[in-house]
Each structure stands twice: as structure tokens, then as C-alpha cells.
Structure 1
Amino acid sequence: MKIAIYGAGAIGGYIAALLTQSGEEVSVIARGPHLAAIKANGLALDMNGERIITHPVATDNPADLGEQDFVIVSLKAHSVPNVVDAMQPLLGEKTAVVTAVNGVPWWYFYKLPGEWENRKIESVDPGGKQWDGIGPERAIGCVVYPACEILEPGVVRHIDGNRFTLGESSGEKTERVRALSQAMINAGLKAPVRNIRDEIWVKLWGNLCFNPLSALTNATLDIVATDPGTRAVARNMMLEAQAIGEKLGVRFAIDVDKRIAGAAAVGAHTTSMLQDFTLGRPMEIDALVTAVQELGRITDVKTPTIDTVLPIVQLRGRIAGCY
């Protein structure tokens, strides 16, 4: 299969290296020194004490690649609308676009039975750019669990995890999602096909609160999840989010206190939003928090704690030039 990875950073590079090694026809869209290094020396993956060197096709111009079977988008959510136009040469009639992106996906309401079917989410898809330019019928959901980092241009280090949960918005186990799952399994990844909205909320439930609270306090995950004050704020945010999710038909497999305990057990982890803030990079506030507030407005669920935390972290991001 022809598979393009749009955004071959840490996670994208990890996927690209393993799929290339397993024999798929892989290309990566990257930029800057990272792209130059991949072109010159290949894409290196450090994993399990070994370095794997792979040679996917690498470019910064999607027009070089032509139509693909799958385009796996592994950019930060706020970056995706800006590449929709550039992505067009990759999109054929049967191309699937895999959203390996944190937070509420832009296609969330596509084929969701009920009164909100086909609603667009402005906070993650301003003006419907992705909905109109990619098309929700192309989207396959993907919840990303591994942790990776770029050691230096052209070199990705795998830290932990290998699961990418996949699913169609319709809930069907279509031929295309099964084919993608099998390709990823063949590459050594876990790629179960599940009810994707339930899976999205499992991860989002924690990201919604622990990310902004850590960015506001400079505290690692274990502290945010156990300090009485921040734990109480996180718990209230999660209960508000749970009420929204359940109104949308989501089933939460564990209760809020077990979810918080699970986060605390991860240990002294620096959340992605705190990492971005510290490094002066754009923070994923809208996909992780603003979108949940918007879903609350859509479903008429009150979110007083989210409404309190969100403008504070937005202001912190704006002052730092990260939002």
C-alpha cells in the first residue's frame, strides 16, 4: 500500500520507520533540518537498544508523491488546517486520511446518530477547512498512545508504548480500516479496531485537565493528580467532560477516581502541554480543552470548572507566545 506520513516528527517518524521496514511503500512529508537529514542519511529509529535505519521517500512537497491509499496525519491539531490545501495531491477518490492527532477530532459528529449529526467543531476546524477540504468520509480515527522524541534531525527515539487504536466514525469494521490495522500489526505495532469515540474520550478525559493544570503550575503529572487542590480541580473538569461524553453516547469503562489514580501511577511525567510551554512551542489548548467546552455548549451541558481553567491557560499561552 502507498502510505504517506504527513508530519514525520517523533510519532510520525516512528510509524514511518516501522512501516518502511515491514515493506510498505512509505513516504514522509517533513521540513527543515529533519527533512534534510532524512534525505541524506535515512530515517533512524532508536528502539530496544538498537538503531534501525530506513529510507522512506522524503519531501516537503506533497505534489511529488501523488495519490495515496492512506495519509496518516501526525501533526499537532492546530497545524492541520494550514496544510489542507497542500495535502490535495495526495487525495484520490479512495484515499483514507488517518487522524493520529490528540484531542477532539474535526470529524467527530460525522455519522453520529442523533440531533448533532454532521455538526462542525469550530475550535478545531475553523471555517470547516478540514471538513470541506479533506472530507469526513475519508477520515479514520486514531488514538495515539506511544511516547517518542526526536533526538536530533533524522533520528527518532522510541520511549514507550506501541498502540494506535483505529476506528471508523460509523463504527463499522470496513475493509480499509482492517487493511490499515493489519499493515500496522505487520510492522510490530498494536492496532486494534475499536469504537473510536469511546477510545478518544479515554485519552481526552485525562488530557483535558492534566495538561492545562500542569502548564499552569509547572507540576509533573504525579503531583497534579495527587495534590488535593489540583486533584479536585481535575476531578471536576473530568466529571463535566464525562457528562458531555455520556450525552453524546460515550461509555466510560472506569470511574473518574480510577482514571486519576492511573494518571498518578505514571509518575513524574511532564505533560505535552507543559513541554510545549517550556520550549516556546504552540500549545494544544483548543483540541484538548476548548473543543470540550464547545461540545458542552452544543449538548447544553454546563462546564463551570472547564470555563474557569480554559481562559487562564489561554492567557498564559498568549503571554508566552505559545497560543
Structure 2
Amino acid sequence: MKIGVMGSGAVGSFFGSFLTEANHEVTYIARGKHLAEMRKNGLSIVRGENKVIIHDTFSEKMEDLADCELLLFCVKSGDTKETAWKLKQLLPESTYIMSLQNGVSNEETLVEVFGEARVLTAAVYVQASVESPGIVKQSGRYRLVIGSLSDRGEEISEKVSALLNDAQIPAGCSSRIMLRKWKKYLFSIIFNPLSAAADKTIGQILDDPYLKEIAWTVGREAVEIAKLMGYPLNEEDIKTAFENAEFAKNHTTSMLQDIRNGKTTEADELVGYLIDKAEEYGRSVDTIRTVYLLLKSREIIF
């Protein structure tokens, strides 16, 4: 199959590498030093103790995706709308688009652009980072849970899941994929912004009683808004998020990576989205808002 990776950072590069190894024709869209290094020496993927080097099509031109059958959509949330509309002009109507992005808001944009029937999304579970241009490092467990946003999309979800599993990517399907993504989003909203605002890893948050209390309060505020939006999260989901965090204590979150690398974070899209929803329902999320403002103050330093 011809597969495109739109946004070949840590997540796109990592999962794309399995598809290349499974002999699919994969086109990786990237830019800057990361792209230059991949073109020169290939894409190096460090999976735990193992290292593979991928040689495939590395490009900065979206036009090179024009004949792909499946597109892994991995751009930062702030780039979703502009990128999607550009791709709309290039991709055939038969191409399926699968979001591997953070958060729970990108799907609305993708459906607006491509239509509900063509859009899949995935809850992504992986600890990966771009260690240096052309090199992606992953540790711990990884898997995908995918689903369609259309009531009639179960068949294509199962086909894509089978394709991923054949490529040695653990993948399952969910008929309630957005609820699954909200549970994943709950973990992200608890730990990601706070880690970047406080310059702490997940483990350092768990080990600090004050930061841990802030994180727990963020979780409670997020659960309240989720319920109002029709997603039945509860205190047990917060407990599960903290239990899962024990397996990622050494993980540097994506927002903290962005801050340390002098990049703009996804705070507006991931945290701002929840703040906006709270305002729509007339609820206050004071702790989430405070963490957001602290994080934005760190971005101003750039």
C-alpha cells in the first residue's frame, strides 16, 4: 500500500518505520534539519535496545502524497486546518486520513475538510522523541487504538488495524473511539501542560506532593467538562491516569520537549480547547487556566 506520513516527527517517524519495514511504500513529509539528515543518512529509529535505519521517500512537498491510499496525519494541532485544506486539493477521494495527533479537537477540523466517512483517528500510546535530526528514540510499551468517526466505518477500521498488526504495530479497534481518546486526553491534560510549565518530568510531578495535588485538581476539572460534553469520565479514570504515569516516570512530555527546544507548544489547541468548552458551559477551570497561563509565559521567552 502507498502510505503517507504528514508530519514526520517522533510519532509519525516511529510508526511509519514499521510500515516501511513491512514493504509498504511510505512517503515521509518533514522539513528543516530533520529532513536534511534523513535524506543524507536515512531515518534512524532506536526502539529500546534495537536500532533500525529506514531508507524511503523523504520530502517536504505535499504533492508527493498525491497517490497515497492511507495518510497518517501527524502535524501539530495548530497546523491542522491549514494543512488539511492544502491536502484536500491533492489527495484522491479514496484516500483515508488517520489522525495520530494529541488532543480531541483535531477530528472536528478533519471531518469538516474531508468528510466523516474518510476520517479515522487513533489513541496513541508511545514514548518517543526526536533525539537529534534524523534520529527518533522510543522506550517502553507502544500501541494504537483506532476507530472511524462514521457509523459505517467499522470495516475500514478493521482493515487498517489488520494492516498495522501485520506490520508489527500492536493495534486494536474501538467503536467508541472518541471516548477512548478522551481517556488518553485526560492523561495528557493532567501531565503535559504542568510538566512544561514547571519544567518537570512526569516522575518529578508524581514525587512532588504540591505538583501532584495540582495535577489531580486538573484531572477533576477536566472530568467535569468531559461529562458535560457527553463523555462519562469519572474519578476512576483519574486514578488510572496516575497509575499509568508510574510507567512513564522518566518520560519528558512533548510540551516539555517543545519548551526546552525553543518551540511553540500545542497549549492553545490542547489546553485552550478545554478552557473554551468550560466557558461555553459556564464552568470555571481555574487550575487548568493557571497552568495554561504559566505555560504561555514560558513560551514568551522564545
TM bin (shorter chain):
0.7 to 0.9
CA distance in 2 between counterparts of 1:307 and 1:155 reads 35
* Aligned counterparts, 1:1-323, within 5 A: 1-108=1-108, 130=110, 132-170=112-150, 173-194=153-174, 195-252=176-233, 254-264=236-246, 266-317=248-299, 319-321=300-302
Question: What CA distance in whole angstroms lies between the structure 2 residues aligned with 1:271 and 1:60?
Answer: 26
CA contact (8 A) 2:72 2:97 kept: yes
Offset of 1:258 from its aligned partner?
A: 4.2
Tell me the alpha carbon deviations over residues 43-80 of structure 1, each in whole angstroms, 9 at most, x when there is no partner. 33233533323332222112134232211111221233
**Shift in Å at residue 136 of structure 1?**
4.2
The aligned amino acid for 1:250 is Y
Measured at CA, do residues 25 and 258 of structure 1 come closer, stay the same or move farther in structure 2, by a change above 3 Å? closer
Q: TM-score, normalised by structure 1?
A: 0.83
Partner secondary structure for residue 107 of structure 2: coil
Indicate conservation of the 8 Å contact 1:63/1:90, yes or no. yes
For structure 1, list consecutive stretches of 5 or more residues without a partner in the other structure. 109-124
Higher mean alpha-carbon deviation, 231-240 vs 18-27, is at 231-240
Paired residue type of 1:243: E
Give 1:10 shift.
1.7
Kindly state the Cα deviation for residue 291 of structure 1 after the two structures are TM-superposed: 0.9
The letter for the 2-side match of 1:79 is D
- The alpha-carbon distance between structure 1 residues 175 and 131, as it changes in their structure 2 partners (threshold 3 A), is closer
Distance 1:4 1:288 in 2: 25
Q: Give identity over the alignment, percent.
A: 28
Which stretch of structure 1 is more off in the superposition, 90-99 or 30-39?
A: 30-39
SS of equivalent to 1:149: strand
Equivalents in 1 of 2:275, 2:6: separation in Å? 28
Residue pair 1:8, 1:28 contacting (<8 A) in 2 also: yes
Q: How many residue pairs end up in the alignment? A: 300
Coordinate RMSD, CA, aligned: 2.4
- The 1:297/1:168 distance shift into structure 2, 3 A limit, reads farther
Residues 222 and 265 of structure 1 are in contact (CA less than 8 Å); yes or no, is this contact kept in structure 2? Answer: no
Q: C-alpha distance in 1, partners of 2:45/2:250?
A: 25
Unaligned runs of 5+ in 2: none
